[in-house]
Amino acid sequence: MTKPKFWITFMMIISLGLAAAACSSQPPASGGNPAAPAAPAQPSAPESKPATGGEGGEGGGANEGPRTNSLTYPANLPAAPSSESENNGNGADSQIGEELMVKYEDPQGNYSVLFVDSWVQEPGDQPDSIRSIYGDWTTEVAVIPSDGKTAQQMAEALDASLSGSITGYLKIAIQSGDVNGMPAASLTYQYESGTNPVTGKGLSFIATQVLIENQTGDKIARLTFSTPASVYGDVSEIFDKILAGYVWK
């Protein structure tokens, strides 16, 4: 007996449904969950560029990867205070990596050093010293007698002297290294200067003094770098470039 057309159509639909179900029950070739989206490709890690100033590398801009420790940037440098409403340091992001460096020749013939072209140069606190400033970012270079001490011994003596003479002094690190082949040491510390108009508390600064021996051991170059604590970690990239440009004559 001939079956009705609707029955034939119904059986065809059932057959197609069973075939589709059989196909969908097969696991994917990869063995994963067929409902899960593919994992996005992971970006490659940024290349770390070493900082200059005693560690023998070339410093880069603020966004070129994590900082490498240097004489101006110790491993235990405190994190920038996120809630501090003091001067943010002249807009560090707009400066770092874009600065033009120019050579300064010491009139006494002791050394040459690189300064940022747009910063202001003026006489420093010590005789024959030079200061380079941009707002409250400061670099000062002076040549002092060694008095028979090494750079490391000078850094330790400086720590003892400053601990009882400046407000809020806190030693962060004493490090040793070299600058263009000459033995060097650095003292990085935190201190207070002035008053925050909002909180009434002392403004927090971080400074590093780098001491570099000369060829005959009778003189020490002292390079002092200072900024508000909130931007020191970033601005120290500029300090590394200045330090790398220091050469005894």
pLDDT tens digits for range 90-100? 555 555 667 89
Judge whether residue 49 has pLDDT over 60. no
Q: Is residue 15 part of a domain?
A: no
Q: Is residue 50 part of a domain?
A: no
pLDDT of residue 94: 52
pLDDT of residue 92: 53
Q: Is residue 83 part of a domain?
A: no
The two structure tokens encoding residue 106: 């010491």
Judge whether residue 206 has pLDDT over 50. yes
How far apart are alpha carbons 149 and 223 in whole angstroms? 17
Residue range 32-53: average pLDDT? 34
Q: How confident is the model at residue 196 (pLDDT cuts 50, 70, 90)?
A: confident
Judge whether residue 244 has pLDDT over 90. yes
Strands (E), the chain: 101-105, 111-116, 120-123, 130-134, 137-145, 170-179, 182-195, 202-213, 219-228, 247-248
pLDDT of residue 26: 43
Residue range(s) defining the domain that contains residue 99: 92-248
Q: Is residue 2 part of a domain?
A: no
pLDDT of residue 76: 95
* pLDDT tens-digit series, residues 146-170: 999 999 999 999 999 999 899 999 9
Burial class (CB in 10 A: 0-12, 13-18, 19+), 207: buried
Judge whether residue 87 has pLDDT over 70. no
Q: Is residue 64 part of a domain?
A: no
* Average pLDDT score over the chain: 77
Cβ neighbours around 228 below 10 Å, total? 25
Q: Is residue 70 part of a domain?
A: no
Q: What is the largest CA-CA distance in the chain?
A: 122
Q: Is residue 13 part of a domain?
A: no
pLDDT of residue 91: 53
Judge whether residue 82 has pLDDT over 60. no
Task: Find the CATH number of the domain harbouring 146.
Answer: 3.40.1000.10
Q: How confident is the model at residue 231 (pLDDT cuts 50, 70, 90)?
A: very high
How far apart are alpha carbons 102 and 124 in whole angstroms? 18
Strand order in the sheet with 130-134: 120-123, 130-134, 137-145, 219-228, 202-213, 182-195, 170-179
Residues in Cβ contact with 137 at an 8 Å cutoff, skipping those fewer than 6 apart: 89, 90, 119, 226, 227, 231, 235, 238
Q: What domain count does the chain have?
A: 1
Judge whether residue 44 has pLDDT over 70. no
